[in-house]
């Protein structure tokens, strides 16, 4: 049992490290290519169940965001585009992290 717990913990540590490295690279690239504040386009795909679309919208509530949604042909998924002015690369990363808690969300 200890080996299984260790392997699971070790895997999660590696995933956390990769995630951290990804966000570090994203922040650097965003800072290189933008002057802040800047208009940013978020794109997501979520399963069309429960309150997924509403939860994405709530993440951008009171930010003046323009949100457009399109359901897939089968209706199983919804694509969401969010145009919003962001203050910094860090604010963008925080939004991605906030919506990552929505089950099944894919950030594009």
Give the three-class secondary structure for 1. coil
Q: How confident is the model at residue 81 (pLDDT cuts 50, 70, 90)?
A: very high
Q: Is the pLDDT of residue 7 over 80?
A: no
- The answer to whether 72 touches 107, Cβ cutoff 8 Å, is no
Q: DSSP E strands: which ranges in the chain?
A: 38-47, 66-71, 77-86, 106-107
Q: What is the pLDDT of residue 22?
A: 87
CATH superfamily of 36-108: ACT domain (3.30.70.260)
> What is the residue whose two structure tokens read 């951290």?
20
Distance CA 29, CA 23 (A): 10
Q: How much is the pTM?
A: 0.82
Query: Would you state the structure tokens that stand for residue 37, as one six-digit string?
Result: 């504040």
């Amino acid at each position: 049992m200890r080996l299984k717990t260790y392997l699971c913990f070790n895997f999660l540590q590696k995933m956390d490290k990769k995630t951290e490295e990804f966000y570090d690279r994203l922040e650097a690239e965003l800072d290189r290519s933008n002057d802040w504040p800047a208009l940013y386009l978020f794109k997501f795909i979520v399963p069309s169940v429960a309150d997924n679309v509403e939860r994405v919208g709530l993440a951008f509530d009171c930010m003046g965001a323009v949100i457009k949604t399109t359901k897939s042909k089968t209706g199983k998924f919804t694509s969401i585009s969010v145009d919003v002015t962001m203050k910094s690369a860090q604010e963008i990363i925080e939004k991605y992290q906030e919506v990552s808690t929505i089950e099944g969300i894919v950030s594009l």
